[in-house]
């Protein structure tokens, strides 16, 4: 089968396109013929070595396709079922084996490409807005990269929860996308001091959702009201610096968390809850997707360059 794999960590140039053995499902696994794979920052972390994976390895955490074969003991799916996943390994390929307990059925009315586009970022947005800091009417949230793949979904879910949203964006074009998603205010961070603007627009926000990392982390803390929560969940500009816990006290008895999706879909019940909400909202028109670009599998390296260059304002997809 054709696949994108790495033999060493590094920049986009380490991505190789070529033949790899077609995987065979063992007990508890399902072989899926992949239709589309989502491209996410976690893939670039695996590629760069920030997050370690066994080498050589096929990249890709998120995908959607059709069940082709079942390993022993799997009775929850059958061949021909349409499925998607967000936390597997090896979706940059024509085939992947995925643990059955990580697969989600894709309902009628949801395209496989849309399922591959929404599951990882959508469930991330879901746990952030519904579990890490459950938003409700009266809350104000600061959402960095509000026009990005995850940020745009956070904005929409925050509005579904009745919260006020202040977003940040890097250009007027991206600001328009964030407003279209529902952001009440958008700060152009390249032209304005986002901390000062946030304070001007609020008495301090209840929560900051920050996927950018190093370049925004410390100033984001200054945007919080007393006892607010700083949620750092990504490293687009690099890992955040170390801080002394005393700083949280000095800034107003703040809370700080660094969550990851795995712990928020650790049970089958949570996984199904989050995916069920996403697919229902898409079907009802309450959640809209923005697929920025669809790449051929062989062009995965260019997709990584575009993602890391922050040239995009929506989801990137590999069509397989």
Whether 92 is in a domain gets the answer: yes
Give me the pLDDT at residue 141, please: 98
- Give helix 112-127 / helix 149-160 axis angle, nearest 10°: 60
pLDDT digits (tens, 9 = 90+) for 253-291: 999 999 999 999 999 999 999 999 999 999 899 999 999
Question: DSSP assignment of 83-141, as one string?
Answer: EEESS-S--SBSEEEEEGGG-EEPPTTS-HHHHHHHHHHHHHHHHIIIIIS---TT-EE
Q: Which of 258, 290, 306 is the last residue of a domain?
A: 258
Whether 131 is in a domain gets the answer: no
* Position 87 confidence tier, pLDDT thresholds 50, 70, 90: confident
Place of tokens 């909400």: 277
Give me the pLDDT at residue 143, please: 98
Identify whether residues 280 and 225 lie together within a single domain.
no
Identify whether residues 275 and 249 lie together within a single domain.
no
pLDDT over 70 percentage in the chain: 100
- The mean pLDDT value for 110-136 works out to 96
pLDDT digits (tens, 9 = 90+) for 157-174: 999 999 999 999 999 999
pLDDT digits (tens, 9 = 90+) for 30-59: 999 999 999 998 899 999 998 899 999 999
Give me the pLDDT at residue 109, please: 86
Give me the pLDDT at residue 236, please: 81
pLDDT digits (tens, 9 = 90+) for 200-235: 999 999 999 999 989 999 999 999 999 999 999 988
Question: Is the model's pLDDT at 192 over the cut of 90?
Answer: yes
Domain of 147, in residue numbers: 137-258
For 179, 188, 199, the CA distances from 192, given in Å and listed in that order, are: 17, 6, 12
Give me the pLDDT at residue 232, please: 97
Q: Which of 258, 279, 308 is the last residue of a domain?
A: 258
The tally of domains found in the chain comes to: 2
The CATH number covering residue 77 comes to 3.90.180.10
Identify whether residues 63 and 15 lie together within a single domain.
yes
Question: Is the model's pLDDT at 312 over the cut of 80?
Answer: no
For residue 80, is it left (φ>0), alpha (ψ between -120 and 50) or beta?
left
Give me the pLDDT at residue 134, please: 98
Query: Do residues 233 and 210 make contact, with C-beta atoms less than 8 angstroms apart?
Result: yes
> What is the C-alpha to C-alpha distance for residues 158 and 208, in angstroms, rounded to an integer?
12
Identify whether residues 165 and 238 lie together within a single domain.
yes
Identify whether residues 41 and 91 lie together within a single domain.
yes
- The mean pLDDT value for 100-112 works out to 94
Identify whether residues 289 and 195 lie together within a single domain.
no
Give me the pLDDT at residue 89, please: 87
pTM score over 0.85: yes
* Position 114 confidence tier, pLDDT thresholds 50, 70, 90: very high
Helix (H, G, I), strand (E, B) or coil at 219: helix
Q: Which of 208, 242, 258 is the last residue of a domain?
A: 258
Whether 215 is in a domain gets the answer: yes
In the chain, how long is the greatest CA-to-CA distance? 60
Whether 127 is in a domain gets the answer: no
């Amino acid at each position: 089968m054709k696949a994108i794999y790495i033999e060493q960590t590094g920049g986009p140039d380490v991505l190789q396109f070529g033949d790899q053995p077609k995987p065979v499902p063992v007990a508890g696994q399902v072989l899926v013929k992949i239709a589309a794979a989502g491209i996410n920052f976690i893939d670039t972390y695996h590629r760069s070595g920030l997050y370690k994976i066994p080498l050589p390895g096929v990249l890709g955490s998120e995908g959607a396709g059709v069940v082709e074969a079942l390993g022993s003991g799997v009775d929850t799916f059958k061949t021909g079922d349409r499925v998607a996943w967000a936390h597997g390994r090896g979706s940059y390929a024509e085939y992947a084996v995925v643990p059955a307990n990580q697969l989600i059925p894709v309902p009628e009315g949801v395209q496989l490409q849309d399922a591959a586009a929404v599951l990882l970022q959508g469930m991330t947005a879901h746990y952030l807005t519904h579990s890490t800091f459950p938003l409700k009417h009266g809350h104000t949230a600061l959402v960095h990269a509000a026009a990005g793949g995850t940020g745009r979904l956070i904005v929409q879910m925050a509005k579904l929860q009745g919260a006020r949203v202040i977003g940040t964006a890097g250009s007027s074009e991206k600001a328009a996308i964030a407003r279209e998603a529902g952001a009440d205010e958008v700060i152009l961070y390249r032209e304005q001091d986002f901390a000062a603007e946030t304070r001007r627009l609020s008495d301090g926000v209840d929560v900051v959702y920050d996927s950018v990392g190093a370049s925004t982390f410390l100033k984001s803390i200054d945007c919080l009201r007393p006892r607010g929560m700083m949620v750092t969940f990504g490293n687009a500009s690099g890992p955040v610096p170390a801080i002394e816990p005393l700083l949280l006290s000095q800034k107003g008895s703040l809370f700080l968390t660094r969550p990851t999706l795995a712990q928020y879909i650790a049970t089958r019940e949570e996984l199904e809850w989050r995916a069920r909400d996403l697919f229902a909202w898409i079907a009802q028109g309450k959640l809209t997707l923005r697929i920025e670009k669809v790449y051929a599998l062989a062009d995965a390296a260019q997709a990584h360059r575009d993602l890391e260059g922050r040239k995009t304002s929506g989801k990137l997809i590999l069509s397989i």
